[in-house]
Structure 1
Amino acid sequence: MRPRNDLDAIGALGDPVRRRLYRLASESDEPLTRDAAAEALGIPRSTVAFHLGRLVEAGVLEVDSRRAAGRSGPGAGRPAHVYTPASDELIGSLPERHYELAGELLAAAADRADADGTTVRRALGPVARRAGARVGAASADLEDALTTCGFEPRDDGAGGLTLENCPFHALAQRYTDLICTANLSLVEGMAAGAGDERTPVLDPRPAHCCVAIRAARTPAS
């Protein structure tokens, strides 16, 4: 459950030829070859190769090498490049939002609530905390985990962090208590998963996330 923001990939699709190539690769039952793409679009193979390469660089497509069926060994010729979509869908927003993550958390909480005979609201905190812990454990540090999820962490000058962006902004505006409480649990999980001793707290401020990170307390001497 590592959120992503595919703005660079979406930007690469601004070119109409690349959009058509991406659509071809997405709708094809088999990996797309340069020859098939050139024939379908009616443009030179060299042009197709250039644009496919750009889509690979942007992370929109993945490329592999494959020999034609039934051909192997010396004299079989060079393997052909074949292209497949890097993911089933592209998600991008500016400012960065991750409503798909909120949807996953709420769906998982509903499933957990049914299993435990409790409410979705009660189940949401533990579900969000576990999800955050997985993101934190898979990240280089807490800042990396927060950046992955779109929180835009900034040093507060006192050993803690302010979170400049809320990835669930529209939901937080409408369902403030529910979303902000889940947000706190999510960030608590990230800190625990990343092994960070700083403390996430609710600290709602205009134009910021409702959560802030307080510096770790030093033991009294």
Structure 2
Amino acid sequence: MDAPQEARDADVSAIAALDEPTRRRLYDHVVRQSDPVSRDEAATALGLARQTAAFHLDRLADESLLDVVYERRSGRAGPGAGRPAKLYRRSAKQVAVSLPDRRYELAGRLLAQAVEESAATGEPVRTVLHRKAEELGTQLGEQDDNTGVLDLLERYGFEPRREGDAITLANCPFHALARAHTETVCGMNLHLLRGMLHGLGEETLTARLAPTPDRCCVRLDPGA
């Protein structure tokens, strides 16, 4: 399984873990505390059996929603200080699942890079954005020699569909941005896809703007 799909599956699993009411109450309790929480503290705060609290806290840790740390609450060290307590605190994991697939973080990084480089060099923002998008697309295409064009497009949320020799893209990963800032985002998308084709060494397809309702603004047509 590829890394983006693995990450997506992990996020779905994490969200599913929070669907259990007791587990969600424990998670909310832990994240409201300024210090890590022990099993006993969590159980007492929520009126749960210690075994129940321990089971759900460990499940949250398994999903990387909580971090586990060990501390001696007595403040003592050395022989006789006792075993460190197992404590829980919110992890740095960020969970986001969108259906259809959206990649707003990717767009945000590209736009931020373009603004910063433009401010430093005086080059027009849109020119920098197109170059950065094409460079990123090339990197994505070069990452795996065994990846085909349909697989790569699927991996990044474009939902490719074969239509004869062409490929249409049923989903735009930047949908809301593209609706509000069509020219900017569709131009970025076009260059990102051109870079992907270049990185894959795909010479039989060309990315072209072809705006169509309910589809990505880019279409891959046969021919150079």
Check whether TM > 0.5: yes
Residue 193 of structure 1 deviates from its aligned partner by: 3.5
Q: Which deviations, in whole Å up to 9, do the C-alpha atoms of 1:106-149 show, x marking residues without a partner?
A: 11110011112022112110121223334334456244443343
Q: Distance in 2 between matches of 1:145 and 1:83?
A: 36
Instruction: Name the residue aligned to 1:210.
Output: 217
Q: Distance in 1 between matches of 2:161 and 2:54?
A: 41
Aligned match for 2:65, one of 55, 61, 65: 61
Q: Which deviations, in whole Å up to 9, do the C-alpha atoms of 1:25-78 show, x marking residues without a partner?
A: 545566655444334433123322433454456x45266685868579xxx879
Q: Which amino acid aligns with 1:50?
A: F
What SS is found at the alignment partner of 2:14?
helix
Aligned match for 2:116, one of 88, 111, 116: 111
In the alignment, is residue 102 of structure 1 matched against residue 107 of structure 2? yes
Matching of residues 176-215 of structure 1 within 5 Å = 176-197=182-203, 198-215=205-222
Say if 1:169 and 1:43 are closer, same or farther in 2 by CA, change over 3 A.
Answer: same
Q: Distance in 2 between matches of 1:11 and 1:105?
A: 31
Structure 1: give runs of 5+ residues left out of the alignment.
none
In the alignment, is residue 16 of structure 1 matched against residue 15 of structure 2? no
Instruction: Name the residue aligned to 2:52.
Output: 47
Aligned match for 2:154, one of 140, 147, 154: 147
Say if 1:131 and 1:29 are closer, same or farther in 2 by CA, change over 3 A.
Answer: farther
Structure 2: give runs of 5+ residues left out of the alignment.
none
Give TM-score scaled by structure 2 length: 0.71
Q: Which amino acid aligns with 1:61?
A: L
Q: Which amino acid aligns with 1:205?
A: T
Say if 1:120 and 1:40 are closer, same or farther in 2 by CA, change over 3 A.
Answer: farther
Instruction: Name the residue aligned to 1:164.
Output: 170
Question: Percent of pairs identical after alignment?
Answer: 40
Say if 1:200 and 1:95 are closer, same or farther in 2 by CA, change over 3 A.
Answer: same
Select the structure with the greater relative contact order (CA < 8 A; seq sep ≥ 6): 1
Q: Which amino acid aligns with 1:101?
A: L
Q: Which amino acid aligns with 2:18?
A: L
For the Cα contact (< 8 Å) 1:26–1:85, is it kept in 2?
no
In the alignment, is residue 91 of structure 1 matched against residue 96 of structure 2? yes
For the Cα contact (< 8 Å) 1:22–1:85, is it kept in 2?
no
Q: Distance in 2 between matches of 1:129 and 1:184?
A: 8
Q: Distance in 2 between matches of 1:148 and 1:32?
A: 38
Q: Which deviations, in whole Å up to 9, do the C-alpha atoms of 1:163-213 show, x marking residues without a partner?
A: 211111122123222111100111222333444444332222221111223
For the Cα contact (< 8 Å) 2:36–2:87, is it kept in 1?
no
What SS is found at the alignment partner of 2:216?
coil
What SS is found at the alignment partner of 2:161?
strand
Q: Which amino acid aligns with 2:181?
A: Y
Q: Which amino acid aligns with 1:147?
A: E
Say which one has the larger Rg.
Answer: 2
Say if 1:203 and 1:83 are closer, same or farther in 2 by CA, change over 3 A.
Answer: same
